A and B are shown apart, each in its own frame.
Chain A
């Protein structure tokens, strides 16, 4: 974004108040350097203000049901409301791919940065194609294997699992994937991510 004003579209999951819906949303805003106020609450952020590199405006908060068709409808309504959107957060890869179709239909796919969370092999291919700009990759297999190991340890030795330092959960790790790395932000390329992605 290089310090220009960020006009943001937020494409959330559903109207449910679930952890992934809130944490991904608030994590994105936090990463932008926007004060999320209560990190457990959606929509309480000021709609305009300063992020770490300039001014921001949250142009819309829609729901996309985490699906491609829902993501497209959400993005269309956002663009109808504010055609100047240049940064899109989508809750997951399917809704990001739908949002991309809406941007393409409006001829804006080159001017807008689209970011999301998942890091499946399918999503990594979308990064390679240039559909998604940046993607936070999670590791569900590691979550499961470490989780089962922790249970085994608990049963055999009675030792309770510890949370990661400074967190109220055990961090199984996350990598930012992008083919357009930015100085000062640690990231991996889509080729690297393809080796460690989940799914087919």
Chain B
């Protein structure tokens, strides 16, 4: 090291007397922007959603109708709810490819509890919840006890739960008319501002609020971020990462069942042949929503924005009369841009 460098270093060190000074040091326009985005992971998806809404609204007057917004929320409600569970898992630097298959399997369990055992609606829902928690727990145990990577574990359970759903139903659909009304209640409507809203919408938004509160205001929420940031560091400060991970996968299983409930309402029945893209769509929502696939950084509200962005693109491009190929193309580009942005933002020091 020559003497000029040493002088510059000394000068720099003198500038930041306190940690706060250091944290707020000027990084130049681009650097400051990057730090801002790093500290506010939901900002970029919010901007994308606003821009997309503006463009679609200006090109088609039907887009801005309240009834159309209600439709977009209803269309997003299944994947949007699954994506809450996916966010928790991705925050721990994990991934769940089985989430849609677990959802379908729990709807099958609920239908069977009624068709075979004759149980009432609430009892069937309890069966579903238990199924989801056990399925999530199975993923969690394989990951924490046998130390298999989440990608492989959930790739396996994806096939297992899909096969179980088909095996137990012979691939047949059960119509809502043959099920207790409680199971399809999420698909029924209430009026808001003279527009039909399904009960699935407030159910999804309520779950977002609950999980956002947990992540921000509870010790367990901080533990999720800590384990996702650095497993070894979290162990050194006295956490037990295996326990946190197992709890996260079980919690994700429970949330998946709420998505299952919304799914049954939307198709008015139970079908093992549905939600084919739900596994990957939930990951898409999380990634576009600004949560880092490397764990430890992200907000659950960002995921809601991510799910809405996909829904708005699908609906808006469809109203514009564009070939469905462009919807698929647009979503693909969004994913790449979101991940590239995440990589760039992660280079910022907070």
Listed in ascending order, the chain A residues whose CB lies under 8 Å from chain B are 12, 15, 43, 60-63, 65-70, 72-73, 76-78, 80-81, 94, 97-98, 101, 104-105, 122, 129, 199-200
Contact = CB atoms under 8 A, between A and B. Distances in A.
A81 B274 CA distance: 24
B159 interface: no
7 contacts: A61-B323, A67-B271, A70-B276, A78-B318, A81-B318, A94-B173, A122-B172
A41 to B, nearest CB: 13
Contacts, number: 82
A200 B319 contact: no
B150 to A, nearest CB: 26
A7 to B, nearest CB: 14
Interface in B64-100: 65, 67-68, 71, 74-75, 78
Given A77-B314, A122-B172, A69 B263 contact: yes
Contact of B75 (A60, A67, A76, A78): A76
B71 A80 contact: yes
A87 to B, nearest CB: 18
Contacts of B189: 105
A43 B324 CA distance: 11
B170 interface: yes
A63 B276 CA distance: 13
Given A67-B273, A105-B189, A72 B267 contact: yes
B162 to A, nearest CB: 13
Chain A residues touching B, majority SS:
helix
A98 B267 contact: yes
Interface of B: 62, 65, 67-68, 71, 74-75, 78, 170-173, 175, 187, 189, 196, 263, 266-269, 271, 273-277, 314-315, 318-319, 321, 323-325, 328
Nearest to B277: A65
A80 B68 contact: yes
B258 to A, nearest CB: 16
B170 A105 contact: no
A60 B321 contact: yes
Given A15-B325, A69-B78, A122-B172, A77 B267 contact: no
Nearest to A107: B196
Given A15-B328, A62-B318, 12 more contacts: A60-B318, A63-B324, A69-B263, A73-B314, A77-B314, A77-B318, A77-B319, A81-B62, A81-B319, A81-B321, A101-B187, A200-B172
A180 B71 CA distance: 32
A60 B321 CA distance: 7
B178 to A, nearest CB: 11
A43 to B, nearest CB: 7
A73 B75 contact: yes
Nearest to B271: A68
B172 A199 contact: yes
A28 to B, nearest CB: 17
Contacts of B267: 68-69, 72, 97-98, 101
B320 to A, nearest CB: 9
B62 A80 contact: yes
A43 B315 contact: no
Nearest to B320: A81
Contacts of A73: 75, 314
Contacts of B273: 66-68, 94
A67 B274 contact: yes
B73 to A, nearest CB: 11
Please give me the 6 A-B residue pairs with the lowest Cβ-Cβ distance, nearest first. A68-B267, A77-B318, A67-B274, A69-B274, A63-B324, A73-B75
